Amino acid sequence: MNKNTSPISTCLAQEVIEAKGSWSKLIKKGQYLKLVDMEGQQAVDFLCFSAGLPADRINIPNTVKLNKSLYIKKGDVIYSDHAKKMFTVIEDTCGMHDTLAGCCSCEIDLVRYGVVKTQSCRTNFIAELAKWSMGPAEIVSNINFFMRVTVGTHGEVEIVPSNSKAGDHVLLKAEMDVIAMISNCPQQNNPAAGFMPTPIEVSVWSN
């Protein structure tokens, strides 16, 4: 008989984030953050900050070096500037999450695609940061959950269609009190959000 080995049992909060939307919340040490790609191939741009010391925030180079991988997967740890554990990936049904491409912005999409935009992951992050009395300078390289970026033999980097299917999820355990921040990527000019952004589900759990 198969047993449910998931560590979560009590849902503390649950919300559907609309296509192109944003979200942020304080996650207490020992709580779990679950992200569900409801329709598949929807990039979820992710930042996090120590609640006790917001200047100690997610650090992608530390995370890559200490996990020895460009891709986030089950068992990996998200590290801070001070090399402190912020989150551990407890469950992952997708298996490949990007650390390279960062967030989209209106400015870079004008350069890349010649389009004039008023919303991007950068503008979403700016709006969420303001809720915590932080500003645009706090935007650093982020994780893109459910987004696939390939690296060629000569270092070529390309955003390609994701492995993520409808219902795929990641479950993160908070290793400290953390402000978690999400932009449900509004990108429509590359495969990051399947060329058509869709909703995601975000929930917070205890065991």
Q: Are 168 and 42 in contact (CB under 8 A)?
A: no
Q: With 60 as the cut, is the pLDDT of residue 3 above it?
A: no
Confidence of residue 28 (pLDDT cuts 50, 70, 90): very high
Place of tokens 């990051």: 192
Under the banding of pLDDT at 50, 70 and 90, the label for residue 2 is: very low
- What's the pLDDT at 54? 84
- What is the identity of the amino acid at 133? S
Where exactly are the structural domains of the chain? Answer: 13-180
pLDDT for res 4: 61
What does DSSP say about strands 157-160 and 77-79: parallel, antiparallel, or unpaired? unpaired
3-state secondary structure string across the chain = CCCCCCCCCEEEEEEEECCCCEEEEEECCCCEEEEEECCCCCCEEEEEEECCCCCCEECHHHHHHHHCCCEECCCCEEEECCCCEEEEEEEECCCCEECCCCCCCHHHHHHHHCCCCCCCHHHHHHHHHHHCCCCHHHCCCCEEECCEEEECCCCCEEEECCCCCCCEEEEEEECCCEEEEEEECCCCCCHHHCCCCCCEEEEEEEC
pLDDT of amino acid 189: 97
Q: Which residue has the higher pLDDT, 55 or 37?
A: 37
CA distance 188 to 190: 6
For the stretch 176-186, pLDDT in tens is 999 999 999 99
> What pLDDT does residue 109 have?
97
**Chain-centroid distance, C-alpha 55:** 19
Sheet holding 143-145, edge to edge: 22-27, 178-184, 44-50, 143-145, 97-98, 71-72
**pLDDT digit string (tens) for 38-77?**
999 999 999 999 999 988 999 999 999 999 999 999 999 9
What are 95-132's pLDDT values in tens digits?
889 999 999 999 999 999 999 999 999 999 999 999 99
Give the separation between CA 32 and CA 11, rounded to whole angstroms.
Answer: 9
Q: pLDDT of 149-171, one tens digit each?
A: 999 999 999 999 999 999 999 99
For range 126-140, the mean pLDDT = 97
Given a contact cutoff of 8 angstroms between Cβ atoms, the answer to whether 66 and 102 are in contact is no
Does residue 173 contact residue 90 with C-beta atoms inside 8 Å? yes
* pLDDT score of 1: 39
Closest to 118 measured CA to CA, from 43, 20, 25, 197: 20
Q: Residue 12 is encoded by which pair of tokens?
A: 């503390």
